[in-house]
Amino acid sequence: MKRILIAGTHSGCGKTTVTCALLSALKRRGLDASAFKCGPDYIDPMFHREVIGVPSHNLDSFFCDDDTLKYLLHEHAANSDIAVIEGVMGFYDGAGGRGSAHSLSMVTDTPAVVVIDCCGMSGSVGAVMRGFLDFRQPNNIAGFIFNRLPEKLTGLAERLCSELGTRYLGYLPKSDITIESRHLGLVTASEITGLREKLDALGKQAEKSIDIDGILQTAQREYPVFTPPSFPESNGSRPVIAVARDKAFCFIYDDNIELLKKLGCDVRYFSPLTDRKLPDNTSGLILCGGYPELYAEELSANTEMLDSIRVNIENGLPTIAECGGFMYLHENFEDMNGNEYSGAGVIRGKSFRTEKLQRFGYVTLTAKNDNLLCRAGETFRAHEFHYFDSTDCGSDMTAQKTDGREWDCVHANHSIYAGFPHLYFYSDIGTAESFANACREFMRKCENED
């Protein structure tokens, strides 16, 4: 199975640009590529999806054990011509080694291509290359791509690769093709005017200056053996889980949705912005993260949806509300300018803007009581990434970072999980099973009442 990992020296070096350029070039050749993102990122896979037309998936070695990682990559890439994986941060950056692009490359035995931002450098590029090649052994670094490299320096880059015994796989020149950023990273793909034209232009440039044939050759490698996870069997009844999905709520792991389907659930998407109530026969609710702060006025004005969500949650509807979804459940929540709007009123207090990232990164959650997702004392992994905070973050779980810091968080009982930490179900399939079972019980309860 052909697979390649596009890694980088640091965040902002051009990994997403190179990955999209490569995917576009492969598509222009008529090849069927599958796309992945290393780590918990939601936004980069949206750009991959725009290029290849099908969902891009996450691969995270902090969340998943080795067999699960290999299973997920194989599950989504086995029938494609090549799997292209975009790395995270710098190649070696991660939580205690796990979660890094290097870790994922080693677990899945995937050749890695390191992207170097060459702006302001010439010969010093060689020192950067040597550092990445020698810093940690073993590694799967198979070559380099040079971003923002002047054409007159391509010969130098090729010579440096030859001197260091690695492969020159091309470059991208400085360009006015840009992808804008905002407070949680890149803007979402749907918001960029002329995105398809930009992606097409990147693909044409990649054909000119990136060694596509060399990448395809490098990507050829036998796939490692793995044991797939086991999925509990459902009893035949299929609860309807309503999942918020629109421009305000767009941070959704496709693997979470697919796992719920494997567990016997029907998923129906709805928009808190434009719909007036939850889908008929809803037996579970997921309010995912996103940008409610950018659409606070519209969300607050849709009082019918707010009432529908509040009443159903008060009646015991099993609910997961993460980050932006958690903010939306407050009595009040602020927009980017500090203006205050009414929310669903499930969580007392308000969500408010801060000037810096709050509790950023991976965490391990420990439950203080039996709840919707697990039993008291059980743990599972999550991550946080937000500028907003709350007057009541909850206290039903303890979050601990890899450096030992910990704090209380999350509102959790038999019918709700609401807090800033995002969930990835493949980190603990039992949490998804517990949620699906609670939705199934709620469905039976409603049927019996009817």
**At a CB cut-off of 8 Å and minimum separation 6, what does 134 contact?**
none
Contacts of 318 (CB under 8 A, 6+ apart): 283, 284, 285, 372, 415, 416, 435, 438, 439, 442
Token pair, residue 159, equals 């010579």
323 is catalytic: yes
- Residue 154 · residue 124 · CB < 8 Å: no
Residue with tokens 């918020």: 244
Helices (H) and strands (E) in the chain, counts: 13, 24
Residues in the chain: 450
Separation CA 153–CA 374 (nearest Å): 56
Identified catalytic residue from 20, 161, 323, 439: 323
Instruction: Report DSSP letters for 402-424, one per residue.
Output: TTS-EEEEBEESSSEEEES-EE-
The residues pairing with 390 across neighbouring beta strands, listed in sequence order, are 351
Q: What is the DSSP string of 253-286?
A: -HHHHHHHHHTT-EEEEE-TTT-SSPPTTEEEEE
| Residue 287 and residue 250 in contact, taking contact as beta carbons nearer than 8 Å | no
Q: Which residue has the tokens 């979050």?
A: 399
For residue 442, give the nearest of 284, 294, 259 by alpha carbon: 284
Q: How far apart are CA 179 and CA 115, in angstroms?
A: 17
Catalytic residue IDs? 323
